[in-house]
Amino acid sequence: MNELLRQLTEATGVSGAEKEVRLLIRDLIADHVDEWSVDTMGNLLATRRGTGESDLRVMVDAHMDEVGLLVVEIEGNGMLKFVTVGGFDDRALLGKVVQVGPQKVTGVIGARAVHLLKSNEYSKVVKRDAMRIDIGAKNKDAAAGKVKVGDYAAFVTPYEESSAPGGRTAIGKAFDNRAGCAALIELLRGERYPFDLVAAFTVQEEVGLRGAEVAAYRVRPDAALVLECTPAFDLPNEKDVSPNVALGQGPSIYVMDARTMQDPRLVAHLTRTADAHAIPYQIRQPGGGGTNTGAIQRAAAGIPVATIAVPGRYAHTPTLMISLDDYDNVVRLADAALRGLTADIVRR
Amino acid sequence: MNDLIRSLVEAFGPSGFEDAVRDLIRPLVEPHADEVSVDAMGNLIVRKRAAGENPLKVMIAAHMDEIGVMATHVTAEGFLRFTNIGGVGPHTLLGGRVRFADGTLGVIGADRNDDRSAIHPLSKHFIDVGATSRDDCPVRVGDAAHFERPFVAQGHRLTAKSMDDRIGCVVAIEALRRLPATVPHDLYFVFSVQEEVGTRGAEAAANRILPDVGIALDVTLTGDVPEARSMSVRLGDGPAIKVRDSGMIAHTGLVRLMRQRAEEAGITHQMEVLDGGSTDARPMQVAGPGCAAGCISIPCRYVHTPSETVDARDVEGAVQLLVAVLSNPIEL
């Protein structure tokens, strides 16, 4: 069992309320970094000093936050009205267990029993405005004793691993982006790099790359690497279309998304490194989406940056699946690429 | 000037892949510069120092990148699905040709369309590079291409694929050549990257330079073709002084000054209000503590198609106007 992934994914940290994850990560890295601090937005910035061979300053980013819910009203009958934090498909919400607020009060996003559905309701998607979180409170006062308006709610999905003939997989919530956080922690625990490495565990990515924007401005590195989890769309399909990325095919390397053209020099460095170390990789389908790269690249006077991601099925739902081989290879590729990163690659 | 225009508009430079354009421009500007550098994003920054005390910092931006496409998927039969880099209209695609950085030429085809009056979305187009399978396809997912079309000069009219914004680069290069040896302002000519995907390069450059005055050089639309949108800008009526576009309201003092310099020098010019689109002046205006921003526009027909058309007289006028603005006092 990968304890790092289990601990990190089972912790909660909806965008804007990342404290629990931040404290967990701080404890996990404290013995491996030379200094750490938390900035005004809640980003955890930790420095692992280099051997002194290189004067580069390199930042590696992984966002701590996950998509979730926010309570906006406690109704007379004790039901909790909520809004979503980050991007969701309404169909992924109904019938899911959540934990609300700092006391982690268990609730369920209630669905009407199938016995009670009218025939014309079977084919309709229930809109999130019509959904409520039910914590079993008998009225508003009873609910108000346990939760408040403004409390966040996160999904509850225990971490599990399986070993099917196709390879090792893990099932859990929030691999986007605790998989990136876990990989970054592993980098901090390895041998020192030739340069000072600043690990930025950032907040509020899912609501607009907000934490990374200020973290990059503060750190002002010579180069940056973003570790992410990117959606795989590799289920059976009759048409010859792109899977975006596929599970088990290796780390996915970004070239272009809606927010960035990744630095071509770093992209070439990543693919060269993968080839040299016989690490499989795949180029993520260029086009939409975006990662913290979008905020980091344009911070201050511009920063060369690239992204490596663990492919994940069912992103932005309460349950994702990743390949543990892909995860291990993301760690290997990031580590090898950082060790091979020299000034001539990123300076002009 | 046509040889310079030809070499720049035919060069390869989709957003994010501007190296070839930068390599062409750099030797042309170095003899006229005090300092030349390339920043982290790839912007080429050319500095010409002021002669006097406490000079204004003036940033002039023309973007090197052009729109293009990028391969997203190689089918089993060796065809490429692709996505857009910047604003690519589906109606400009079918039968067009694209070229990848390694020289591979592709023809754009489309899925069967039984309704001839309808245009397929971009996602139903594909690129044929002559491959027969995924294995013999020379293009990989993530490879970028630009639209292929030669430069043509016909009378005053100049037609090519990436007048937007290589013609702005030409204006900047030509102005650098003509400026007097000593100028009253600290000039930063920025040949910027990634304008077409969201004015990203100029944003980083402006945050480094923190200019007092920012002037973009870019193309603008016209209202002088059949059934055109209502817009007063016409090809051949001179460079356009931008008053407003959908991303920026130009500094009124700078607009007044540009107008005054044009009138003093007898440069035919026109005023521009653009409904849709913006330029590198937008990020310059709000970078750091902000600056007085404006834009000298080159009127252009068929923008974001492979046959962008400008008038040589407007280009010449833009050079003269820019030189007049930069070599005289800027009092706002």
Return per-residue pLDDT of chain B as tens, 332 residues. Answer: 999 999 999 999 999 999 999 999 999 999 999 999 999 999 999 999 998 889 999 999 999 999 999 999 999 999 999 999 999 999 999 999 999 999 999 999 999 999 888 999 999 999 999 999 999 999 999 999 999 999 999 999 999 999 999 999 999 999 999 999 999 999 999 999 999 999 999 999 999 999 999 999 999 999 999 999 899 999 999 999 999 999 999 999 999 999 999 999 999 999 999 998 999 999 999 999 999 999 999 999 999 999 999 999 999 999 999 999 999 999 98
- Residues of B with CB below 8 A from A239's CB? none
- Residues of B with CB below 8 A from A301's CB? 39-40, 204-205, 207-208
Give the pLDDT confidence score for residue A166 in this predicted structure: 73
Q: Please check whether residues B318 and B175 belong to one and the same domain.
A: yes
Contact A199, A278 (CB under 8 A): no
Cα A177 to Cα A157, A173, A294, B5, distances in angstroms: 15, 9, 16, 47
Does B273 fall in a domain? yes
CB contact under 8 A, A298 and B203: yes
**CATH architecture of the domain with range A3-66+173-346:** 3-Layer(aba) Sandwich (3.40)
Domain boundary among B147, B178, B201: B147
Give the pLDDT confidence score for residue B117 in this predicted structure: 87
CB contact under 8 A, B73 and A346: no
CB contact under 8 A, A261 and B16: yes
Does B88 fall in a domain? yes
- Residues of A with CB below 8 A from B37's CB? 348
Cβ-Cβ pairs closer than 8 A, A with B, add up to: 81
Q: Please check whether residues B45 and B73 belong to one and the same domain.
A: no
Mutate to test the interface with B, among A298, A308, A346, A348 (most CBs of B within 10 A): A298
Q: Supply angle C-alpha A269, A272, A274, rounded to 5.
A: 105
Does B155 fall in a domain? no
Name residues 297-336 of chain A within 8 A of B (Cβ). Answer: 297-298, 300-304
Query: Which CATH number is B112's domain given?
Result: 2.40.30.40
- Residues of A with CB below 8 A from B85's CB? 256, 261
Count of CA atoms in the C-beta half-sphere (13 A) of A91: 5
Q: Residue B88's domain spans which residues?
A: 68-147
pTM value > 0.80: yes
Give the pLDDT confidence score for residue A124 in this predicted structure: 83
Q: Please check whether residues B196 and B106 belong to one and the same domain.
A: no
Does B156 fall in a domain? no
Does B154 fall in a domain? no
Count of CA atoms in the C-beta half-sphere (13 A) of B8: 31
Contact A17, A102 (CB under 8 A): no
- Ranges of CATH 3.40.630.10 domains, chain A: 3-66+173-346
Q: Please check whether residues B303 and B165 belong to one and the same domain.
A: yes
Query: Residues in chain B, how many?
Result: 332
Q: What would the pLDDT profile of A17-55 be if each residue is shown by its tens digit?
A: 999 999 999 999 999 999 999 999 999 999 999 999 999
A256 touches B at CB < 8 Å: yes
A344 touches B at CB < 8 Å: no
A343 touches B at CB < 8 Å: no
Domain boundary among B147, B171, B206: B147
Q: Please check whether residues B291 and B216 belong to one and the same domain.
A: yes
pLDDT-based confidence at residue A123 (cuts at 50, 70, 90): confident
- Residues of B with CB below 8 A from A261's CB? 15-17, 85, 194, 197, 200
- Residues of A with CB below 8 A from B70's CB? 255-256, 286-287
Partner-chain residue, chosen from B85, B144, B204, that has the shortest CB–CB distance to A302: B204
Distance from CA of A297 to the nearest CA of B (A): 8
B148 given a catalytic annotation:
no
Q: Please check whether residues B62 and B72 belong to one and the same domain.
A: no
Q: What would the pLDDT profile of A313-335 be if each residue is shown by its tens digit?
A: 999 999 999 999 999 999 999 99
- Residues of B with CB below 8 A from A242's CB? 72-73, 81, 141
Pairing of strands A160-164, A152-155: unpaired
Distance from CA of A58 to the nearest CA of B (A): 14
Task: Please count the other Cβ atoms lying within 10 Å of the Cβ belonging to residue B38.
Answer: 16
Task: Report the percent of chain A where pLDDT is more than 70.
Answer: 100
| CATH number of the domain located at residue range(s) A68-155 in this protein | 2.40.30.40
CB contact under 8 A, A298 and B200: yes
Domain boundary among B147, B173, B204: B147
Q: Please check whether residues B125 and B165 belong to one and the same domain.
A: no
Number of domains composing chain B: 2
Contact B207, B199 (CB under 8 A): no
Pairing of strands B240-244, B270-273: parallel
Q: Please check whether residues B244 and B174 belong to one and the same domain.
A: yes
Distance from CA of A217 to the nearest CA of B (A): 11
Does B332 fall in a domain? no
Query: Which CATH number is B299's domain given?
Result: 3.40.630.10
CB contact under 8 A, A264 and B16: yes
Q: Please check whether residues B205 and B245 belong to one and the same domain.
A: yes
HEC-encoded secondary structure of chain A: CCHHHHHHHHCCCECCCCHHHHHHHHHHHHHHCCEEEECCCCCEEEEECCCCCCCCEEEEEEECCECEEEEEEECCCCCEEEEEECCCCHHHCCCCEEEECCCCEEEEECCCCHHHCCHHHCCCCCCHHHCCEECCCCCHHHHHCCCCCCCEEEECCCCEEEEECCEEEEEECCHHHHHHHHHHHHHHHCCCCCCEEEEEEECCCCCCCHHHHHHHHHHCCCEEEEEEEEECCCCCCCCCCCCCCCCCCCCEECCECCCCECCHHHHHHHHHHHHHCCCCCEECCCCCCCCCHHHHHCCCCCCCEEEEEEEEECCCCCCEEEEHHHHHHHHHHHHHHHHCCCHHHHCC
Q: Please check whether residues B50 and B87 belong to one and the same domain.
A: no
CB contact under 8 A, A302 and B205: yes
- Ranges of CATH 2.40.30.40 domains, chain A: 68-155
Mutate to test the interface with A, among B26, B45, B64, B70 (most CBs of A within 10 A): B70
Partner-chain residue, chosen from A255, A260, A302, that has the shortest CB–CB distance to B142: A255
Partner-chain residue, chosen from B72, B76, B207, that has the shortest CB–CB distance to A286: B72
